[in-house]
Each structure stands twice: as C-alpha cells, then as structure tokens.
A and B are shown apart, each in its own frame.
Chain A
Amino acid sequence: EILMTQSPAILSVSPGERATLSCRASQSVSSNLAWYQLKPGQAPRLLIYGADTRATGIPARFSGSGSGTEFTLTISSLQSEDFAVYYCQQYNYWPRTFGQGTKVEIK
C-alpha cells in the first residue's frame, strides 16, 4: 500500500497570505494525484486532479504541482472560506490511498 505523507500537519496563515502544502508518496505515483478540501458538515470538494488540473469551478488561486513522489498544493491568497483540512490522494496503485491531512487555520 502506498503511504502518503502530508506536511505540515497544521499550517497557520493570515488571510491574504500564501499557503503551501506538501504531499509525499512512498514511491512514485507519476501524476496520479488529487487534492481535496474538507470542512465540517459539508461535502468534501475535489480541488485538483492529475497533480495540476483544477476541477470544475475551483478558483484559480488553487494550484497544484509536482510529479513522482513530491507534490504541492498552493493557495495563492487565502480567503476566509479556505480555512479547512486538505488531503492528497494517489490513484496510481490499488488501493487508492490518502494522506493524513493538513489543517489550514487562521493565524
């Protein structure tokens, strides 16, 4: 099973600042990586797939990069609605596996 490791566990950021989240795979997953946003009481939202492709309706301030084992989700200017927990997920191998999440909180 592919282990996905996210860092940091908690990221404290002020509104308007840039947030950079990392995700590392235990072996290469090519570009088969997605990012999700989870908020309490809401349906989780797909942000990025294929490592760098924004899902439908996702604002341009969200961007993904990387390939192989190292990936990054960048939120260029944090808005109030962006404070949430973010998960990466690989789909290069079965079973599909997720990271443990990064909580983006208000500084």
Chain B
Amino acid sequence: QVQLQESGPGMVKPSETLSLTCSVSGGSINNYYWSWIRQPPGKGLEWIGYIHSSGSTKYNSSLKSRVRISVDTSKNQFSLRLSSVTDADTAVYYCVKDRLGDADFDFWGRGALVTVSS
C-alpha cells in the first residue's frame, strides 16, 4: 500500500517561498501522477497541481504564476514550491497520488499545516 508523508517548515513569512516535500513509500513514484492539494482553515479543498514521474506538470490557473512542482525519482519524492506567500496561503497541504492523472486521488498523506506569519 502506497504511503505518503509531507515534510517541511510549519511557518513561512509573508512574501517568502513555501517549500514542502512528499516522500512516497510502499511503491514506486515512476509512471504515476502526483498532486498537491490544500485546505485553508475552515474552507474546502483546492487542487494545486500535479507532476508525472516524467516531469510533466499541470497547475491550477489560480496559482500557476507562483507554483512549481518537481520530482526526484531517485529519492521517490516530489516537492512543492509556492512563492510570494500571503495569509491566504495558510493551509493544510496534502500530497496525493493521482489515480489516473485526470481523475480522482487514491492515496493521501496526512497533511502538513503551513502557517504564513511574520
């Protein structure tokens, strides 16, 4: 069974860059799509973007100018960078396995709370 674990700083200053890494265990990262999804406090879920193990990406247009997702197949990890953060980026960030790349999400991490605060 695939397991995902988010890691990274729990607090980021406004205007700086949020960085998170997702470690995948129990299976290979190769040949699959991997997404980031976030949930601000008291709000719904928002899909941020995905990466395929080949390196191809797709981002939510609402965040596209600030987001970069990368993959390191040798480490079975993928990462999220979100630049120029504001209070509105405070959220629980989930790393997720895409079942097909354009459908639903079949495995999730437990999530990492990232707070934007000076």
Contacts and interface: CB of A to CB of B under 8 A. Distances in A.
Interface of A: 32, 34, 36, 41-46, 49, 55-56, 87, 89, 91, 94-101
A101 B105 CA distance: 16
Interface residue tally of chain B, by bracket?
20 to 34
14 contacts: A34-B104, A34-B105, A42-B110, A43-B4, A43-B110, A44-B108, A45-B108, A55-B106, A56-B106, A87-B44, A89-B104, A97-B47, A100-B43, A100-B44
Most chain A CB neighbours (cut-off 10 Å) among B45, B62, B102, B111: B45
A56 B46 CA distance: 24
Contact of A49 (B45, B62, B99, B109): B99
- The interface centre, meaning the residue of A41, A95, A100, A101 with most chain B CB atoms within 10 A of its CB, is A95
A91 to B, nearest CB: 5
B45 A98 contact: yes
Contacts of A95: 47, 60-62
B93 interface: no
Interface of B: 4, 43-47, 58, 60-62, 94, 99, 102-111
Nearest to B60: A95
A55 B104 CA distance: 10
Contacts of A45: 108
A46 B97 CA distance: 11
A97 B47 CA distance: 7
Nearest to A101: B44
